[in-house]
Amino acid sequence: QVQLVESGGGLVQSGGSLRLSCTASKIIFSIYTMGWYRQAPGKQSELVADISSGGSTNYADSVKGRFTISRDNAKSTVYLQMNSLKPEDTAVYYCRADRVIQYWGQGTQVTVSS
């Protein structure tokens, strides 16, 4: 079945960087819009960034200028480079593939200490 596997989360100090990766299998990756979402404790899930099949990107206002989403269709992988991390970026980060039907990864924890 379709699988999205995230990696790259962890514990980092405020101001630090992390790069998340999400590798997909059993889908034609190149035709999907790929997105990163996050959910902090007690809060609703929110879109962090997404990238269309054509490479157009969209970011939440809270991460503009700090995070960069990119994709490598040959590797069926989407990345989220996160710089200048803040404690409020602490959340579980999920990868999503979207083309009519949505598929989700299992999530990876990002914790930013102050």
Please write the tens of the pLDDT for every residue from 4-51: 999 999 999 999 999 999 999 999 999 999 999 999 999 999 999 999
pLDDT in tens, 55-89: 999 999 999 999 999 999 999 999 999 999 999 99
Q: What is the reported pLDDT for 9? A: 97
- The type of residue at 64 is K
pLDDT of residue 106: 96
How far is residue 86's CA from residue 72's CA, in Å, rounded to a whole number?
Answer: 27
